[in-house]
Structure formats: C-alpha cells, structure tokens
Structure 1
Amino acid sequence: MSLLQNIHSFDVQTFSWCMARKHRVTLTRMGRAVSFSADGPLYAVLAGALWWLGYEELVWVLMFGFLLERSLYLILKRGCKRNRPAQALENFSSFIIPSDQFSFPSGHTSGAFFMACCLSEWFPSFNMILYVWAANVGLSRIFLGVHFPTDTVIGALLGCLCAGLAIGVVL
C-alpha cells in the first residue's frame, strides 16, 4: 500500500470516528459559528481595525502573509485535487456547502493559524486563546464534514509557515 493510500485510510478512519461521536450534533452546531469566525472577510475588517489603532506594521505583515498563504493554498488545492468527504465517502453528506470542490488543504484552518501566529507575535498574552480558537476552526471543518483530518493539519502548518515567513520578511 502506498503512503498516500495509508494516509487516506487513516483519514477515513479518523473522520468516521469523529462522525460517530455522541455529541456530534452539538459539535456541528458550535462548529458553524467557529468556522464562520475564520471566514476571510472578517480578517479584512480586523486588519482595518488594527490599522486604525496604529498597528500598521502588523497590517503589512498580514497583507504580505495572506498574499503568500493564499497563493500557496491555491497551488496546493488545485495541484492535489483531493475530493472532500462527501465526494470520497459513500452515504455521507457534509453539514454545510463548501466554497470549492477540493479538500486539501483546509483554507479556513490555514487562515486561522496564520492569524493566530501573527497576532500572537504582537499580543503574546492572547496566544493561548488564539491557538485554541485556531485549533477549534480546524476541528469545526472536520465536524462540519468538509475536510479530512490531514487537510486541517497541513492547513495549520501552512498558516504557521506563512506567518513565520511574513514576520521574518516584513520585520
């Protein structure tokens, strides 16, 4: 069995375990709100507020980093073309309609971890809250049925990598 087949098998087993949880319905309801908090337009509003509050350097990091993150995200998404759980698994429907066709990597998770990394650099006293929020965004994408676990893990790594690069380049 190839490495990709092993990863997919692990993903399907882990995804199925998540979908079989006793409190999945409650987790899915909460997941909608958490997932919404990581929608792209809210980041633009936050950047505007940060600019207004005098955090211009942070806003430059966010703009450069998001340009980098979205570019890499799109390259991976279009290059890998991994089907979402609803297309890959028989008798499964996701709980929301995803914004695009492919699953890998999770853009919501990538964006959330990017924001958590960047904001933690400027506001370190909030880092625990930020990373818990980002991790919950990733979990919400699984419980909403639109991503496999490795989609969110790689999304988190992508977001953190892009944040580190953006901070390193802009500062």
Structure 2
Amino acid sequence: MTRASRIISASADGFYYPLLPLILYVAGDTRAAALLLIMGLGFALERPVYYLAKNAFKRNRPAQALPGFNSVITPSDHFSFPSGHTSGAFLVATVVVMFYPGLFWLMYPWACLVGASRILLGVHFPTDTLAGAVMGTSFACLAGAILAGVTGV
C-alpha cells in the first residue's frame, strides 16, 4: 500500500503536467494548445492562493500535530492545509475533462487517489485534501470560464 501511495502521489508532482498537452500536440490534437492555456492560467491563479492559504492557516502536518505519529515520506514544505498535490490533481483532471469528457472516469478517480495517497503517506489530514480538491476544481473552472471565448471550451 505504501509503494502504491508513493507512486500515485508522485504522479501529481507538477513537472509531469505539461507532458499531457505536449503528447497531445505531437499526436496532432488541435486542442493541445487550448488545454495548455487553460491549465497554465488555472495554475497561475491557483498557486498564489494556495501559498497564501498555506502560510495563513499554518496548520501543522500530522507528524507535528499528533504525538507519536510518523509520516512515511518527508513533505516538501512545513504546513498541511490545503494539499497542493490534491489541488493540482483536481485542477488537471477538471481541465482534461473539459476537453475530453469521456476521461471523467479516469481523471477524477486518479485525482481522488492522489488525495488519499497524501493521507496514507501521513503528510495530510482528510480536510487538507478536501480543501485541495475544491481549490483545484474551482480554479480550473475559473480559468476555463475566463478563456472560454479564446479556446472555444
């Protein structure tokens, strides 16, 4: 379970996200640029709010908040709320589903598994991942709405 959680969590490391539009572009999909544009705007809007929230709430991670609790991995930053991995996963899932509705059943379960993996690895509380899911979905929808006239989505 720990190995699977590590793999799922790593799949939501941000540097993988531009690969999807790149692969689509190389495959000749004309929607790749629009997908990249909405995803980029979504992250440009989401990341500052994420960092502000993280540093405003300053919620300790489970290993610091719960005596005797040890997390499986070392988190990349100090605070827990909201989950950035989960936010990013839901943002990507939402943008992908805007363009490819048939991938709903692949993308949202993946995003949910990312959130669950962060809990199982001991670096987040469930409410951290729930907030991340809401945040990522919201900013994807906002970016899609802002760019609807440009991208045709």
* Structure 1 residue identity aligned to 2:87: S
Map of 2:67 onto structure 1: 90
Query: What is the RMSD of the two structures over their aligned residues, measured on CA atoms?
Result: 1.0
SS in 2 for 1:105: coil
Amino acid at match of 2:23: A
Tell me, in whole angstroms, the C-alpha distance in 2 between the residues paired with 1:68 and 1:138.
21
Could you say which residue in structure 2 is the equivalent of 1:44? 18
What's the CA shift string for 1:24-73, capped at 9, x where partnerless? xx2x2211010000001101222333444432111110110111111111
For 1:130-141, list aligned pairs within 5 A: 130-141=107-118
Q: Which runs of 4+ in 1 moved over 2 A?
A: 44-54
Matched-pair contact (CA < 8 Å) for 2:39–2:95: yes
Q: How does 1:22-171 map to 2 (within 5 A)?
A: 26=1, 28-52=2-26, 53=28, 54=30, 55-171=32-148
For structure 1, the residue ranges without an aligned partner over 5 or more in a row are: 1-25
Cα distance in 2 for partners of 1:110, 1:36 equals: 14
Instruction: Look up the equivalent residue of 2:124 and give its one-letter code.
Output: H
Q: Percent identity of the aligned residues? A: 49
Aligned residues: 145
The residue type equivalent to 2:130 in the other structure is: V
Q: Is the 8 A contact 1:51 1:59 kept in 2?
A: no
Q: Any gaps of 5 or more consecutive residues in structure 2?
A: 149-153
Maintained 8 Å contact 1:47/1:62 = no
TM-score (structure 1 length as normaliser): 0.82
Question: For 1:62 and 1:102, how far apart are their aligned partners in 2?
Answer: 25
Query: Residues of 2 paired with 1:110 and 1:68: CA distance?
Result: 12
